Structure 1
Amino acid sequence: MTSPPSPAVNEHDDAAHLSALGYTSEFRREMSPWANFSLGFTYLSPVVGVYTLFAFALATGGPPMIWSFVVVGFGQFLVALIFSEVVAQFPVAGGVYPWARRLWGRKYAWMTGWIYLVALLVTIASVTYGGGFYIAPFLGFEATTVNVIWGGLALIAIATLINFMGTKVLAMAAIFGFTAEIIGALIVGGWLLIGHREHGLGVLFDTFGTEGSGSYLPAFAAAALIGVYQYYGFEACGDVAEEVPDPGSLIPKAMRRTIYIGGAAATFVCLALILAVTDIPAVISGEDADPVSTLLDDAFGTVGSKIVIGIVLISFLSCAMSLQAAASRLAYSYGRDEMIMGHHLLRKFSPTRHVPPYALIVAAVVPAVIVAGSYVSTNAITKIISFAALGIYMAFQMVVLAALRARLKGWVPSGKYQLGTWGVPVNIAALVYGIIAMVNMAWPRTPGEPWYDNWIVLLSAVVVVGVGLLYMVIHPLHDRSDAPYDDAIPKS
């Protein structure tokens, strides 16, 4: 499962490869391998993922929920291997949309991209809204709905400004975000383990009765959402394929590093938090609803906890910035292929900054509207955001399915990264894992709530897919697009 040796390449080789795929890029290849990895890492963001869902996961499954990082990490690693093969052969900006286009066809690609774009825009809203809860106390304000909204909007505005400055600034910001997050995670986690450890490693096998009177599996499956929510972001390395030199070699490596390092960092942060929680039963009972804040205050004091929250905010900003970069490249790719209404604007390019300005505006305005909408109904934003993780997994698995179908029809990956004889079994395993993960995300777990709330994750997915299908019928631009498609499979 290693990349075959390849000759040295230069910018002309990259342009020639892209030209052979039917495109001439307007992006600058100014993103180094380190920056490309950092973009994926900050999108995955261990701090954001763990801090956001730690209380829920611990209360639902107890300390053994940490093992979900291992299970989910392995499953998403299989998906990353499939993506590595595809991006090595088709290093085109936009990620899952152009990959599905080459592996299957225009209609399938349109729906894949639609689901992914909606999920990305909703995830940007989710991350920035969540960041608003940290901005308020950092600035000394109460985390009221209005203050949280303004904090979320501020994060969107700063992320947009960074993205508008071009690939080089985005790359520098990604590296800074990665450095701050990894150092912060190590310092905070190390201090908690050394100075505030309350439990031994044996607690990682103690469910604290979260299983009730039945099997522990349902409780673990629900708590495992912390792992499921954590392990995506590696695909962002491929979303900016036209901004990376020698993408066929470098992006597969960056994707795998994102899984290795991001997963290890997330597991370490989660481990430190679990072992430092003084009263785990209080978290499970709901008495301590915010154990992360409790820990930070106890371990670092008022001033120290503000410094830690500052690092956490850098993580939220970096995550939003990377998500926005991915969403804008996808929207641009859609526009360049004339696949959607407004494509004349989405495909426009800034001649000075070498970024797609209108695609970036979409990646800022839509999340901002969602965040601002929580002023009317906090419940509404919760329902909208519920689609985020499932939508991204759906788009991932549509590519995995397309790759498996293409293999069975004769596709033999020809990029610089190839799985060889392992291709089919890895592809099947990645698909099986993805289906199980999606079922777990959509599974109803609140029988006391109205049926529409109990099934909200699945219902939101049905709505997004339904709207996409309706759009395809009313405005079938995808059938008129003459950009290359369905060319991975050999024609007899």
Structure 2
Amino acid sequence: MTDKTISQRLDQDSAQLQALGYSSNFERTMTVWENFSLGFTYLSPVVGVYSVFALAVTSGGPPMFWNYILVGLGQLLVCLIFGEIVSQFPISGGIYPWSRRLVGKRWAWMAGWVYLWALCTTIAAVAVGGAPYLAALAGIRSTHSGDIFIALAMVCVTTLLNVSGTRLLARVAMIGFVCELAGAIVVGSYLLLFARHQHFAILFQTFHVEGSGSYFYAFVASSVAAMFCYYGFEACGDVAEETPNPGVAIPKAMRMTIYIGGAAAIFVTLALLLAITDMPSVISGKDADPVVTVLRNALGPLGVRIVMAIVLISFFSCLLSLQAATSRLLFSYGRDGMIVGSRYLNKLSERTRMPIAALIIAGLIPAIIVMIGFFLENAVRTIIVFGSAGIYVAFQMVVLGALIARSKGWKPTGRFRLNGWGWPVNIAALAYGIAAIINMMWPRSPSDPWYLNYGMIMTSVIVLACGAVYMILLRPYEKGTAPAGDAHRIAAQLAGAEVSSGVESGS
């Protein structure tokens, strides 16, 4: 592509954004593959699978494997709806501006509020989850206080990397993607070829995890682990103003995130399952960390350290992508004057073209959540479990918003459209999302402390209630003049223009 063609493409992108009521000073230099890498490292199949593998097996036995395929198909439906929306509204911040254009200011403000706190708690969760790996790799004995310090250091490092600019973000995301995918393929292939102890038939054997009840409930419970591995594709749209030709590139990158990230998660899960030597010990909980057991038996101490290094890169790149998504959401909020401190959050650095204040907040809030663990270990665990549920709630506010807009006459006008499939895919995506949220929040362990058993429900109610109070008392949605709730009106205007054009050509 020539310099002239690139310049024309960038001018068209700027014109499209201006027509949507915005101008941008972001560097529009992120390629399709780099944009995809951002979504992939946010989704991070290695982090997702390794973090919850034991929970999935103890809940549903080996057949839990099939959940990674079923959940992937469900999230693909959501991804397709997001693709239609971002293709027409390629605006930084993702879920908040999409909801704003589909439904209106209040709906958008609440969707963004839920998504913001879900992102912040997820950043804290990933940092806390990655701390033991860094400790082990450094030869440090893992302790609760030590892991908190390490988690804080990880958040600080990724914040500093993020403020360095779009190019560094894109490069680090690309490095993270290559390392994680290569690690997943190499380790998975080695386990399947040289360390397989189980037959493929084990994928259909429950090992009586269901007890005296129906296996269906155990299978559904284990699906929560797969749900943890299938979000992140929305991050591709969070940096829409940093990607050339976003109406085409971002829907494509989103789908690639589901396809490649999902395939990697499925492959790693299959390899780990078939490499387990003592399945009853894993299901009973006697082997509390089957991933480490499998890797140690198959690869030895040196191999384990190499894999742990790859896993650690995955944690860092995941944190980097999560913070980038959070900062773009805060920037988008600030640009529309929708939150306290907007005049600082909406500024970009003249040197790096990055929202520095928003990035600092995207590091500070998760750091505070992590530091709560110094004083209230159980409290921070309760807060962190909100991450996954909150992201799914925010997703479904967009999916429901799209359905509301369709009912008013919205017909997507971006370069990626589902056309006649729009309605059935939208309805199916909403049905899947609601079922997923209920499944994630359903209390299943009466023997656990109430704050763990009802943690997702409790934190979700608190976040929604605080958001509602903030919105009612301060009315942030009344600030700013950016367009809102105009998706269906744009469709009507375009339809009218087409009719007028047809009449003129006929005459």
Q: Where on the TM-score scale, by shorter chain, does this alignment land: which range? A: over 0.9
CA-CA distance at 1:368 after TM superposition: 1.0
1:180 alignment partner AA: C
**CA, structure 1 residues 301+453, in 2 after alignment: closer, same or farther (shift >3 Å)?**
closer
Q: Does 1:134 align with 2:133?
A: yes
Distance 1:9 1:305 in 2: 50
Report how far residue 293 of structure 1 moved: 1.1
Residue 501 of structure 2: aligned partner = none
| Distance (Å, rounded) in 1 between the aligned partners of 2:487 and 2:319 | 33
* 2:335/2:346 contact within 8 Å kept: yes
Q: Residue 487 of structure 2: SS of its match in structure 1?
A: coil
Q: Is the 8 A contact 1:9 1:246 kept in 2?
A: no
Match of 1:91 in 2: 90
Q: Is the 8 A contact 1:104 1:486 kept in 2?
A: yes
Q: Is the 8 A contact 2:84 2:416 kept in 1?
A: yes
1:320 to 2:319 alignment = yes
Deviation at 1:370, TM superposition (A): 1.2
For 2:446 and 2:253, locate their aligned partners in 1 and report how far apart those are by CA, in whole Å.
42
Partner of 1:367: 366
* 1:104 and 2:89 aligned: no
Q: Read off the aligned partner of 2:421 and give its amino acid letter.
A: W
SS in structure 2 at match of 1:10: helix
Contact 2:336 2:479 in 1 (8 A): no
The Cα shift of 1:481 comes to: 2.1
Give the CA deviation at 1:454: 2.4
Q: Find the residue that maps to 1:210 and give its secondary structure.
A: coil
Does the 8 Å CA contact 2:103/2:485 hold for their aligned counterparts?
A: yes
Structure 1 residue 377 displacement after superposition: 2.2
CA contact (8 A) 1:68 1:224 kept: yes
The aligned counterpart of 1:426 is: 425
Where do 1:18-57 residues align within 5 Å?
18-57=17-56
How far apart are 1:452 and its partner, in Å?
Answer: 4.5
| SS of the residue 1:224 aligns to | helix
Compute the displacement of 1:419 (Å).
0.4
Query: Equivalent residue for 2:218?
Result: 219
Q: In percent, how many aligned pairs have the same letter? A: 54
For residues 316 and 88 of structure 1, the distance between their equivalents in structure 2, rounded to whole angstroms, comes to 30
Equivalent residues in 2 for 1:4-15, closer than 5 Å: 10-15=9-14
- Helix, strand or coil for the counterpart of 1:140? coil
Give the counterpart letter for 2:426 in structure 1. N
Q: CA deviation at 1:50?
A: 0.1
- Structure 2: distance between partners of 1:425 and 1:375: 48
**Is the 2:77–2:425 Cα contact (8 Å) retained in structure 1?**
yes
- Which piece of structure 1 moves more, 387-396 or 292-301? 292-301
Aligned position for 1:173:
172
Superimposed CA distance per residue, residues 100-123 of structure 1 (whole angstroms, 9 cap, x where no aligned partner): 000000000000000000000100
Aligned residue pairs: how many?
Answer: 486
TM-score normalized by the length of structure 1: 0.97
Distance 2:7 2:338 in 1: 35
TM-score (norm. length: structure 2)? 0.94
AA aligned to 1:361 is I
What is the CA deviation profile of residues 439-476 of structure 1, one whole-angstrom value per residue up to 9, with x for unaligned ones? Answer: 00010101123445422211110100000001112211
Residue 340 of structure 1 pairs with residue 300 of structure 2 = no
Task: Tell me which amino acid in the other structure corresponds to 1:170.
Answer: L
Contact 2:382 2:451 in 1 (8 A): no
Q: Hey, what does 1:466 align to over in structure 2?
A: 465
1:247 to partner: Cα distance:
0.1
How far has the Cα of 1:196 moved from its partner?
A: 1.0
Are 2:440 and 1:447 aligned?
A: no
Change (3 A) 1:8 1:74: farther
Give the conservation status (yes or no) of the 8 Å contact 2:161–2:169: yes
Partner of 2:142: 143
* Alpha-carbon distance in structure 1 between the residues aligned to 2:294 and 2:142: 18
Aligned-partner Cα distance in 2 for 1:452–1:175: 39
After TM superposition, give the deviation of residue 190 of structure 1 in Å.
1.1
> Rg larger in 1 or in 2?
2
Q: Are 1:409 and 2:405 matched, yes or no?
A: no
In the aligned structure 1, how far is the partner of 2:7 from the partner of 2:22? 22
Aligned partners of 1:477, 1:463: CA distance in 2, in Å? 19
Q: Deviations over 1:130-156 (max 9, x none)?
A: 000111111111110122112212221
Regions of 4+ moved over 3 Å = 449-453
Q: Are 2:350 and 1:356 aligned?
A: no
- The one-letter code of the counterpart of 1:219 is A
Q: Which amino acid aligns with 1:348?
A: K
Q: How does 1:120-131 map to 2 (within 5 A)?
A: 120-131=119-130
Preserved contact between residue 155 and residue 363 of structure 2 (Cα < 8 Å): yes
Counterpart Cα distance in 1 of 2:27 and 2:291? 41
Contact 1:43 1:236 in 2 (8 A): yes
Alpha-carbon contact 2:114-2:393 (below 8 Å) kept:
yes
Q: Deviations over 1:324-382 (max 9, x none)?
A: 00000000000000001111111111000000000000110111111122121221111
Is 1:241 matched with 2:245?
no
For 1:159 and 1:452, how far apart are their aligned partners in 2? 30
C-alpha RMSD of the superposition: 1.3
SS at match of 2:489: coil
> Is the aligned partner of 1:263 residue 2:262?
yes
Q: Counterpart in 1 of 2:484?
A: 485
Cα deviation, residue 304, structure 1 = 1.7
Q: 290-299 or 87-96, which moves further after superposition? A: 290-299
Residue 275 of structure 2 is matched in structure 1 by 276
1:125/1:367 contact within 8 Å kept: yes
Query: Structure 1 9/72 Cα, relative in aligned 2: closer, same or farther at 3 Å?
Result: farther
